[in-house]
Structure 1
Amino acid sequence: MKRQRGGIRTAGRLVAAACATATATVFVAGALPGRAWAAGESPYTFDGAAEQIDGAASSLDSQQLKAGQSYRDSIKKDGKLYYRVDLDAKQNAYVSVVAVPKPGARAEYGDGIKVSLQDGSGTQCGYQEASFGSAGFTRPVTAYAARTIEPDSSICQQAGAYYVLVERTSKAVSTPEDWELEIRHLTEPGVKKTGPTELPENWPSGTPQPPAGGPQKRQGGAGFHDATSLRQGEWRSDIKPGQTLFYRVPVDWGQQIFASAELGSSASGDTYVGNALVLSLDNPARGHVDQDTVGYDGDPATLALDPHRPVAFENRYSSNSYTSALRFAGWYYLSATLSPDIAKAYGDKPVPLTLRVNVTGTAKAGPAYDGDAGPFKVTEDDRDAAADGRSGAEADRSDVMRVVAAAGIGSGTVLVLGLGVWTVVARRRGAA
Structure 2
Amino acid sequence: MGRRARSRYGRALGALALGAALCATSALGGRASAASVPAESGAPKPYAYAEDDTTVEGTASTTNAALLEPGRTYRSSIGEGGKLYFRLALDATSNAYVSATAVPGPGAAVSYADGVKVSVQDDNSRRCSSSAAAHFGASESPRPLAAWASREIGPTKYSCQTAGTYYVVVERVGPSGSSASSSRSPGDWDLELGYVSEPALRKAGSTKAPEAWNSASPGPLQGDARTRAGGAGFATAAPLGEGVWKDGISPGQTLFYKVPVDWGQQLYAGAELGSSTGGDGFVGTALVVSLYNPVRGYVDDVGCGYDGGQRAAVVDPLPPVAYGNRYALNDRTSAVRFAGSYYLAVHLAAQVAGKFGDGPLGLTLRVRVEGAAHAGPDYAGRADPRDVFDAAAGAAAAEASGGTAAGGAGGAGDRATGSGAAGDPHMKAVAAGGLGTGTALVLVLAVWTAVARRRARGWAAAGDAATPGPPAAHPVLPRDHKAPRGR
TM surpasses 0.5: yes
Of residues 48, 52, 60, the one that matches 1:49 is: 52
Distance in 2, Cα, partners of 1:390 & 1:97: 31
Which protein has the bigger strand share?
A: 1
Distance in 2 (alpha carbons) for counterparts of 1:173 and 1:379: 40
**Residue 60 of structure 1, CA deviation:** 2.2
Overall identity of the aligned pairs, in %: 46
Match of 1:292 among 290, 296, 302: 302
Q: Which residue of 2 aligns with 1:59?
A: 62
Aligned equivalents of 1:312 and 1:103: distance in 2? 39
Aligned-partner Cα distance in 1 for 2:31–2:91: 33
2:370 partner amino acid:
T
Superposed CA offset, 1:370-412 (max 9, x none): 0124334335432121123389xx99x949x99xx9xxxxxxx
Residue 163 of structure 1 corresponds to: 167
- Counterparts of residues 190-339 of structure 1 (less than 5 Å): 190-339=200-349
- Deviation readout 1:172-215 (Å, 9 max, x if unpaired): 46120110000111100100111112123321000111223321
* Secondary structure of the corresponding residue to residue 291 of structure 1: strand
Question: Counterpart of 2:192?
Answer: 182
Q: Which amino acid aligns with 2:381?
A: G
Q: Residue in 1 aligned with 2:376?
A: 366
Contact 1:42 1:102 in 2 (8 A): no
Higher-Rg structure is 2
Provide the secondary structure at the position in 2 that maps to 1:59: coil
For 2:158 and 2:359, locate their aligned partners in 1 and report how far apart those are by CA, in whole Å: 55
Compared with structure 1, are the counterparts of its residues 380 and 169 closer, same or farther at alpha carbon in structure 2 (3 Å cutoff)?
closer
Please say if 1:101 is aligned against 2:104. Answer: yes
Q: State how far apart, in whole Å, the 2-side matches of 1:297 and 1:368 are.
A: 50
Give 3-state SS (helix, strand or coil) of 1:153's partner.
coil
1:350 corresponds to 2:360: yes
Alignment of 1:20-35 (within 5 A): 33-35=31-33
Structure 2: state its 5+ residue gaps.
1-22, 36-41, 176-181, 404-429, 445-487
Find the aligned partners of 1:251 and 1:207 in 2 and give their Cα distance.
17
Matches of 1:324 and 1:338 in 2, distance apart?
Answer: 28
Secondary structure at 1:387 match in 2: helix
**CA distance in structure 2 between the partners assigned to 1:27 and 1:233 by the alignment:** 25
Describe how 1:101-140 pairs up with structure 2 within 5 A: 101-126=104-129, 127-140=131-144
Residue 70 of structure 1: aligned partner:
73
Do the aligned partners of 1:42 and 1:103 also contact (CA within 8 Å) in 2? Answer: no
Q: Is the 8 A contact 2:34 2:236 kept in 1?
A: no
Deviation track 1:67-93 (CA, whole Å, cap 9, x = no partner) reads 111111000011000000100011110
Q: State the TM-score, normalizing by the size of structure 2.
A: 0.72
Alignment partner of 1:375 out of 359, 375, 387? 387
Which structure carries more helix by proportion? Answer: 1
Using the TM superposition, give the Cα deviation of residue 99 of structure 1 relative to its aligned residue in structure 2, in angstroms: 0.4
The 2-side partners of 1:295 and 1:352 are apart by: 15
Among candidates 385, 403, 407, match of residue 397 of structure 2: 385
| SS of alignment partner, residue 279 of structure 2 | coil
Unaligned runs of 5+ in 1: 1-25, 406-432
The answer to whether the aligner puts 1:81 opposite 2:79 as a matched pair is no
Name the counterpart of 1:9: none
CA distance in 1, matches of 2:139, 2:391: 36
1:120-162 CA-partner distances (Å, limit 9, x unpaired): 1111002311111111111001011111111253411100100
CA positional deviation for 1:40? 6.7
The CA deviation at 1:317 is 1.3
Question: Does the CA contact (< 8 Å) of 2:45 and 2:253 recur in 1?
Answer: no
- 2:32 alignment partner AA: G
What SS does structure 2 have at the residue aligned with 1:336? strand
When residues 152 and 346 of structure 1 are mapped into structure 2, their CA distance, relative to the original with a 3 A threshold, is closer
Q: Indicate how the Cα distance of structure 1 residues 185 and 343 shifts in structure 2: closer, same or farther if over 3 A, else same.
A: same
What is the RMSD of the two structures over their aligned residues, measured on CA atoms?
2.7
Q: Is the 8 A contact 1:214 1:234 kept in 2?
A: yes
